[in-house]
Structures are given as C-alpha cells and as structure tokens.
C-alpha cells in the first residue's frame, strides 16, 4: 500500500490542532484561501461530486462544500478524520468523511468523481506516481484534477525546511523530507504520461508584508496544478 506509516503517525500526533489557525497547521490555514480561489476559478463546482484525497481535518473540504456540491474527504489519519467530523457537525455541514486510502476506496466503491483535489499530499507518500494513477482511476471521464506540492531546489529547501521548521518554527521539525519534493517539470511529465491535459499551473507565493499567500508565476517553492482528464 502506498502509505508511509510514519507520516500518518506524524499527523495523528498533532491532529488536535487542525483548526487552530496559529498551531502546527498555520501554513495550511494561510494557504487555504488562495488554494480555494484557484480551484473555484478553474472549475464550476455546481452540481459536481468532489473528492479531497488527504483531507486531514477538513480545511479545504469545508471551503468547497455547498448545497450544489457533494464533497467527500478521505485520509489515513483516523484522528484527523474524527476532528473533521466534529468540526463539520459544529457547523451543520454535510461532508462525507472516511478513514481510508484511495487504493482501498477504489477497490470497495464504484463511485467516480467529477473533481479531485490532492493538495500537499504527494510529498508524503512513498510512490507519487502511483498516487497520481489512483487519482485518475477514481475520477470520471473529462474530470478536473488539482494537485499541489513543493518544488525541489535550494530555495524551496531553505524556505520550507530550514526556515519554516528550524528557524521560525512555523512547522513541526520533520514535517518535510526534501528528497520527496517534486520539480514541476517532473510532475508535468507524469501527468502527460497518463494523458492528462495541463490546464493551469501557478506558484503559491508569500507576501512578507501582508503575511498572505497569493497566486504567481513563481514556481520555486509551492505550486498548484489544474489538469483535465481526457474522454478516453
């Protein structure tokens, strides 16, 4: 199975803080508005079914849910899923959360989705290409898929690991493994290998003055990709 047990445990250990905007998941809270805008700006979610792979505590799911969108969130961290369920209950939402892997879900369910999001997960699994293949399998023809991850270069290493984990303590130490970062060119080559059309790619850059992330053409650190599945 394409799962790193150490990674799952890592997120179990801090799952209690998913909805604390100043806790270990602060960077995701800061990224969430720009990620949500990118997704909604590239696909009409009305009357669509959407699955968020690696949903964690439900930060993205809650931003994408509406009465016209059916959202499912899956994650291997059961503690994170329980937090997501509790938070949605408090906010009277209707998101289908499940503790499972995408591989298990493909085997036990024939449901396929119009839209898939897989954000900040690729760098936490042993086989990124296998995860991408599974994401393709669980979606319908002509579906829209969104991925985001970290570029692999010196700047990304200094910012995402040295700065975020060791100097400013924004993230818990050991959150990221530099060897698991993926260059945009490598990512796009995998997507093309499986006949996905790359529709849009943007950098998620940080403004140090207003302390907010924004879309940019700079792909040196975080980046997000929108691709389209062919009707084959």
pLDDT in tens, 126-164: 999 999 999 999 999 999 999 999 999 998 889 888 877
* Predicted local distance difference test score (pLDDT) of residue 232: 58
- Show the tokens assigned to 119: 């954000």
* Predicted local distance difference test score (pLDDT) of residue 37: 97
Cα-atom radius of gyration of the chain, to the nearest Å? 17
Mean pLDDT of 57-71: 93
Residue 142 belongs to domain with CATH number? 3.40.50.150
pTM value?
0.94
- State the total domains in the chain: 1
* Predicted local distance difference test score (pLDDT) of residue 163: 78
Q: What percent of the chain has pLDDT over 70?
A: 99
More confident site: 177 or 96: 96
Helices (H), the chain: 5-13, 26-42, 59-64, 78-90, 102-108, 128-137, 154-157, 184-193
Contact 76, 8 (CB under 8 A): yes
Strand (E) or helix (H) holding 150: strand 139-150
211: domain range? 5-229
Contact 29, 63 (CB under 8 A): no
pLDDT tens digits, residue range 166-195? 787 777 787 878 888 999 999 999 999 999
Q: String of b and e for 141-153 (b: at least 16 CB within 10 Å)?
A: eebbbbbbbbbbe
Residue 64 has pLDDT above 80, yes or no: yes
Residues ≥6 apart with Cβ < 8 Å to 168: none
């Amino acid at each position: 199975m394409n799962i790193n047990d150490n990674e799952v445990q890592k997120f179990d250990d801090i799952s209690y803080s998913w909805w604390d905007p100043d806790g270990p998941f602060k960077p995701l809270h800061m990224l969430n508005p720009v990620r949500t805008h990118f997704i909604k700006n590239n696909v009409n979610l009305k009357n669509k079914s959407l699955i968020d792979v690696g949903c964690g505590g439900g930060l993205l799911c809650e931003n994408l849910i509406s009465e016209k969108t059916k959202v499912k969130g899956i994650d291997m961290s059961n503690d994170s899923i329980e937090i997501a369920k509790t938070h949605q209950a408090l906010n009277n939402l209707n998101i289908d959360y499940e503790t499972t892997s995408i591989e298990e879900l493909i085997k036990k369910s024939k449901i396929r989705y119009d839209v898939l999001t897989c954000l900040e997960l690729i760098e936490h699994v042993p086989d990124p290409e296998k995860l991408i293949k599974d994401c393709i399998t669980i979606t319908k023809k002509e579906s829209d898929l969104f991925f985001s991850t970290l570029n692999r270069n010196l700047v990304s290493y200094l910012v995402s690991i040295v700065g975020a984990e060791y100097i400013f303590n924004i993230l818990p130490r050991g959150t990221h493994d530099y060897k698991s970062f993926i260059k945009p060119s490598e990512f796009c080559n995998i997507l093309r290998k499986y006949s996905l059309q790359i529709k849009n790619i943007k950098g998620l850059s940080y403004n140090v003055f207003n302390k907010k992330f924004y879309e940019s053409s700079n792909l040196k650190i975080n980046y997000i990709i929108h691709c389209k599945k062919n009707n084959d």
